[in-house]
Structure 1
Amino acid sequence: MAADIAEQPAGMARLLDRENAAAIAAVGARVAARRPRHVIFVGRGTSDHAALYGAYLTEIRLGLPVGLASPSAITLYGARPDLSDALVVGVSQSGGSPDLAGVLTVARQSGALTLAVTNNPDSPLVAAAELAIDIAAGHERAVAATKTYTAELLALLLLVEGVRAGDGVLPADERAALEKLPQLAEEVLADNAADALAQRYRFASRLVATGRGYAYPTARETALKLMETSYLPALAFSGADLLHGPLAMADPDVPVLAVVGDGPGGQAMRDVVNRLGERRADVVTVGPADVPGAAGRLAVPAVDERYAPLLDILPLQKLALALALARGEDPDAPRGLNKVTTTL
């Protein structure tokens, strides 16, 4: 897991290189030419969180309504929705889950434009789709996904911005900003603050992760990583949902990880952190600046809010790794889990 985490800056650089960027641009141009009226994403686990990030990007940047598919409706109940005007995107690191391929197969039969975003170009998901994007993350050693997650995020960002451009080609200023991400990721990974935080949380019995907008998928992925590697019950809420009831459980014994960046989502989260502080919750933020009401911070650089999820997750992955080791667990071999999970 440590090796996979460390490879992420190189993976970002690889996805941004001329060949891979051109391949994604070609897919973006195809999507733009089809002019879909709405977009459906489908994924499981970590890839579902990447799909949620793609949903925010699509609604905000393209102005298209987005849904997250319920694979069981198709694979277990035999539903055949009319997706003829849709772009249907399957996101999966392995591309091997039959239910995801099943959704793309049915969507394609109904006339949808289908796209597979995966780390395995020879997978059933790619075979089921009309278009495909290889996230080019390389072999992932650990069961818990890390580098494939950030590769999925970056691939979806390049895709959406390419569709927005119309011809798949990003504007020069956008391209220049993105090319800084690998170095920024190196700097974030060089910070070992997560190790000390792991000692602080070693005996926690439960934890909450929260964020809004682009940061909400980060909160969900954080909770999943902690549950996978440390077996620590972790709940993820959007900052808005947290205030609609779950705030009542906040107290000094429930650590809260709050993603608070720049932009509208980060500004909205400041009120959430303040409310948590009123309840004396143990809040640690992830972001570029200290936030009143928080007891600590995992530092990341200030970047465009769209890019922040690629950096915010890095110290949280390191936290999951360090916490698992501090609790005497093996994060490379979580009990009961396999690298490829097959669901029908």
Structure 2
Amino acid sequence: MCSILGLSSDRDVAPIIVDSLKKMEYRGYDSVGVAVKNESEISVKKGVGKVKDVNNDIQMDKMQGHSGIGHTRWATHGGVTVENAHPHLCNSSSIGVVHNGIIENYAELRKDLEKNHNVVFKSSTDTEVIPNLLQVYFEKSHDVKRAVMDTVQRLKGHYAFVALFKNGEMVGVRNHEPLILGIGENDLLLTSDVIGLPENFNSVVYIDNNQFVIIDDHKHKIYDFQGHAAQFAIKKIPKNYQNVTKGEYEYFTAKEIFEQPDTILVAGDEDNDYLQKIVDFIRDSDYVYVTGSGTSYHISVIAKYLFSRFAGKKVEHVMASEMKYSSRYIIPNSTLFAISQSGESADVLEAVSICKKKNAKILSMVNSKNSALARDSVFSIGLNCGPEIGVAATKSFTSQMAILYKIADKLCDGCLAVDFKTVSDAYAKMLSDTSKIQELAKAIKDIQNLFVIGRGIHYPISKEGALKIKEITYVHAEGIAGGELKHGPLALMDSSTYVIVINPDDDSYVDNISSVHEIKSREAKVIGISNKPDPSYDYWIQIPTIREDLYPLIEIIPLQLIAYYLALERKIDPDYPKNLAKSVTVK
């Protein structure tokens, strides 16, 4: 969700903050702002739009001062306006705050501040109660630590915030939402994401839940919410998370799609003994639930297919956001396999919390081994695919799927024997010439509705393909099980309809061709994704012939490419689709 930053340095911080906000813009890009403490006051500049455009207009990076805070917003409370953009100041302008998350009781706090402290609010956000509460308590105690402790006792919800005080002190507070302290040679930086750290930072402290850090005179102290000094560990930042750039590509989405021949080879590349422990954990569990949100939920459905078909292991997939409504059916002492690219998804973390109350043991699959989800797990396996900036998951999806294949293979004592070099070569072949998909994107750029159908294990791939298309092209797209066409969706088929059929030459091929004929008889257009041509296809997107049980790994690539090139044809930035954020850290 929103990105938050706070930097204390011996040089002007504004240009560094602006550069870091550009890196983290995938977390939120409705509006942006920077506040800097200079000799006499806290100055604020903010505006609506992307970091680059707003900075060009108001030159946030020219502000002077050695401590400051910054923010990119993904709106939750209040419209996308300059007034609602962060940072927010208290009424005395002596404290500025940037915030990620939701203050659930902000309306109650706002009324109290207006009635009892004569606070005049300038925005419609929940955030603005924080600097004003801090002001009330700081004026009482004249102590930053005490003011923070009193403030967090009043706040309800999941949040992280960074506060800049006029006296020069800076505070970072974490309650469920991510917060990281970066340590440079002469700089200290608070951020919601390691990607926001400048190049000269290589060490971090992951602030624990219900902790806060005070930075004063280039020194830091970490406390729990009761004010006790907290223990912490300094860790090194993985090299592939430093200095993230687009390279030769125009968009991160393209870069991440085209990285997949490499990332598929290192997915879950853990110590073999460690992976075996995870496999044994699953094998010894009486019941396994797999959960995730969005793309990661589609992976959980694939897990059910793979584990039941090849390992005879009964598993149940549960959408993370639905776990609270399914909790009464969770079998005590079972295992929850939680899947999340960021490891910070609020819905997934809540599902973990629910299952822990049922004494479930937690396994996880994440792209950040220092994430909240990884730290909350008995075992956690890493995707190892490097940071994924594009909002639409691409390389993380194929890496997640590869790990499932590795686990399933071990569960069935080597029955799959997947050669991922073969898969990598198939990726490279498909990505070497995308001209046919680009031509298709031009031909269908004005469509309003699209259906993607698949059967068996290809059904969750159809759901994932449809998700990619709706996320970054704004075309209504729906993934459908092929056999369900005649139970409703055929009513929507006419000459303006396009249907993508995932149709490799496996045991679903004949049934899918029957579905193609049903679609064609309603005059709809068919886009076939297959290793085998058929005269019924209006467009044929060829995939390499590969071992039958590996087709799910490769058929997603053309779907990603269709979404990407269709976004370009529709003049949409695929990295930053409207209304969406990469890490959904609020419920």
Provide TM-score, normalisation by structure 2.
Answer: 0.54
**How do residues 104-143 of structure 1 correspond to structure 2 at under 5 angstroms?**
104-143=352-391
1:63 corresponds to which residue? 312
* 1:164 aligned residue (401, 409, 412): 412
- The reply on whether 1:213 has 2:456 as its aligned counterpart is yes
Distance change >3 Å, CA 153–CA 73, structure 1 → 2: closer
> CA shift at 1:248, angstroms?
2.0
Amino acid at match of 1:254: T
Indicate the larger mover: 273-282 or 190-199: 273-282
> CA shift at 1:212, angstroms?
0.7
> CA shift at 1:143, angstroms?
1.4
Amino acid at match of 1:68: H
Larger Rg: 2
C-alpha distance in 2 between matches for 1:83 and 1:132: 22
Q: Deviations over 1:99-144 (max 9, x none)?
A: 2122223323423332111111111212222221111110112111
Amino acid at match of 2:279: G
2:585 corresponds to which residue? 342
C-alpha distance in 2 between matches for 1:21 and 1:147: 22
Distance change >3 Å, CA 195–CA 120, structure 1 → 2: same
Q: Find the residue that maps to 2:548 and give its secondary structure.
A: coil
For CA contacts below 8 A with separation 6 or more, give which structure has more relative contact order.
1
> CA shift at 1:80, angstroms?
4.7
C-alpha distance in 2 between matches for 1:254 and 1:21: 48
State the identity as a percent: 28
Q: Which structure: greater strand fraction?
A: 2
Amino acid at match of 1:29: D
1:204 corresponds to which residue? 447
Q: Find the residue that maps to 2:507 and give its secondary structure.
A: helix
**How do residues 276-287 of structure 1 correspond to structure 2 at under 5 angstroms?**
276-287=519-530
Q: Which structure: greater helix fraction?
A: 1
Q: Find the residue that maps to 2:412 and give its secondary structure.
A: helix
Q: Deviations over 1:241-263 (max 9, x none)?
A: 12222112112211111100122
1:31 corresponds to which residue? 282
* 1:230 aligned residue (462, 473, 483): 473
1:296 corresponds to which residue? 539
Contact 1:214 1:306 in 2 (8 A): no
1:185 corresponds to which residue? 427
**Number of residue pairs matched?**
334
Amino acid at match of 2:547: D
1:144 corresponds to which residue? 392
Distance change >3 Å, CA 89–CA 266, structure 1 → 2: farther
2:266 corresponds to which residue? 14
Distance change >3 Å, CA 16–CA 340, structure 1 → 2: closer
> CA shift at 1:323, angstroms?
0.6
Contact 2:364 2:374 in 1 (8 A): yes
Distance change >3 Å, CA 74–CA 286, structure 1 → 2: closer
Contact 1:273 1:291 in 2 (8 A): no
Distance change >3 Å, CA 31–CA 16, structure 1 → 2: closer
The unaligned stretches of length 5 or more in structure 2 are: 1-252
Calculate the aligned-residue CA RMSD, in Å: 2.1
C-alpha distance in 1 between matches for 2:271 and 2:256: 20
> CA shift at 1:313, angstroms?
0.9
C-alpha distance in 2 between matches for 1:94 and 1:105: 17
Q: Find the residue that maps to 1:309 and give its secondary structure.
A: helix
Distance change >3 Å, CA 122–CA 83, structure 1 → 2: farther
C-alpha distance in 1 between matches for 2:268 and 2:375: 25
Q: Deviations over 1:320-344 (max 9, x none)?
A: 1111111111111111211101243
C-alpha distance in 2 between matches for 1:218 and 1:306: 13
The unaligned stretches of length 5 or more in structure 1 are: none
- The reply on whether 1:5 has 2:257 as its aligned counterpart is yes
Q: Deviations over 1:175-231 (max 9, x none)?
A: 4x3331111111011131210110111111111111011111111111111111111
Amino acid at match of 2:455: R
> CA shift at 1:294, angstroms?
1.6
C-alpha distance in 2 between matches for 1:15 and 1:70: 23
Amino acid at match of 2:503: V
Contact 2:342 2:366 in 1 (8 A): yes
- The reply on whether 1:83 has 2:331 as its aligned counterpart is yes
Distance change >3 Å, CA 131–CA 250, structure 1 → 2: same
C-alpha distance in 1 between matches for 2:360 and 2:448: 45
Q: Find the residue that maps to 2:417 and give its secondary structure.
A: helix
Provide TM-score, normalisation by structure 1.
Answer: 0.90
Contact 1:115 1:129 in 2 (8 A): yes
Q: Find the residue that maps to 1:139 and give its secondary structure.
A: coil
Distance change >3 Å, CA 305–CA 23, structure 1 → 2: farther
